[in-house]
Structure 1
């Protein structure tokens, strides 16, 4: 066989192999089962990724993880992307006549452990597990989560916060700045935590828009949750406690 034909065949075989590898790689990526919420190009594992999914089943690889860069905003610290987005959101809310304050941002593993121990002592293990994360399992440790409140302190860290002006404004607009309400009502069996209308998580504007538009959780968006045929009933309300996962 002429040399040029051999070279051509080798090139074709190489292209076929590369195409097969690309196809297999695509199949191995997490894809949301929800229409219009594809998530194939995002990193849900690395703590430095804005898309990282941290929950009880997916703790941080390093229990003592601290983001490389933290920026102060509104009296709290967040990762730069989240800090800049929150500052802009707060300014725009204020321009609309709504004052959104920052209650809590980045927490070290040590401070998270103290909070969890305090809730365990106050409410018992079962309730504490539904309202507070263990160190290494909290989104606050990533620097991408911010708890918000009203300037007057109305319904602070309670489900009734959804009825306040800041709560309603955030529910309608936070996704425009890259934030989602991380623990929505009725999703306790997915997220592992009770409803928290004040807990915002930065995932970036594109992902936040898709998650908000589809009415799903970050777990569902990442393809990490398979809907059962009959979802369990929601956990009881939590107005009587002040959870801070």
Structure 2
């Protein structure tokens, strides 16, 4: 085994950061984002998330029916959307469907709103049905590392109304674990803190996932000598350690 030291400022970095009104974004370098689709150059995601989203849509031949509507947003853009929606729709609607500036997943580059192709697409609430190609995308997206982030039965935990169009990249093993266990991101660190979890991906590769609490300004984490590893902060109180077993 080898030991790595992770500093406290890494709590707010990684694909598993929780971002909501109770867990605002921490200072961090801006994400390296690229367009999801050349036809929609203004809609960008963190580069790995963008590549995997594109691959998922292509695997379904869904490019003509699935449209990226909104991806990464700057702090200024999120503030503008909040202010405009508050003015036009009122406080109750805005609180349901727009994250408060500084508390939006869109500012991470890991979240995307998708819509059904149509002459007019509602920017805030795009239509993204549960049937047809859109339902098949939901099922397939899990193995590409995406979850449907805001579901109706989890509103009391997420604080956001059901958004069938909003998908969040977390990584393949985590999307599979959350989906199998019926968890939202607000519950995931607590679930992992109970005991390390192991899953086998579609390609047959085994993955172990565990939670390590932040111990102060520096946290020591043990990793195997071999195999691919990832350490992501949860933007709360610890780190999620993912180890792909050497094969």
| Band the TM-score falls in, shorter-chain normalisation | 0.5 to 0.7
Give a deviation string over 1:142-168, Cα, whole Å, max 9, x none: 000011111226875548633353431
TM-score, scaled to structure 1: 0.66
Structure having the larger proportion of residues in strand: 2
The correspondence of residues 152-231 of structure 1 with structure 2, limited to 5 A, is 152=118, 156=122, 158=125, 161-223=128-190
CA shift in 2, pair 1:146/1:153, >3 Å: farther
Q: Output the CA distance in 2 between the equivalents of 1:147 and 1:153.
A: 17
Is the counterpart of residue 149 in structure 1 residue 115 in structure 2? yes
Q: Which deviates more, 194-203 or 75-84?
A: 75-84
Q: Which deviates more, 203-212 or 74-83?
A: 74-83
Q: Point out which structure has higher relative CO (alpha carbons under 8 A, 6+ apart).
A: 2
TM-score, scaled to structure 2: 0.65
1:47 deviation in Å?
A: 3.5
Length, aligned pairs only: 178
SS at match of 2:99: coil
Is the counterpart of residue 67 in structure 1 residue 30 in structure 2? yes
Is the counterpart of residue 87 in structure 1 residue 54 in structure 2? yes
1:135 deviation in Å?
A: 1.4
For residue 90 of structure 2, the aligned residue among 124, 131, 151 is: 124
Gap regions ≥5 residues in structure 1: 1-42, 225-245
1:68 deviation in Å?
A: 3.9
Q: What do you get for the CA RMSD once the two structures are aligned? A: 2.4
Conserved? CA contact 2:33–2:109, under 8 Å: yes
Specify the structure having the higher radius of gyration (Cα).
1
Structure having the larger proportion of residues in helix: 1
1:81 deviation in Å?
A: 1.5
SS at match of 1:112: helix
For residue 137 of structure 1, the aligned residue among 103, 108, 118 is: 103
Q: Which deviates more, 65-74 or 214-223?
A: 65-74
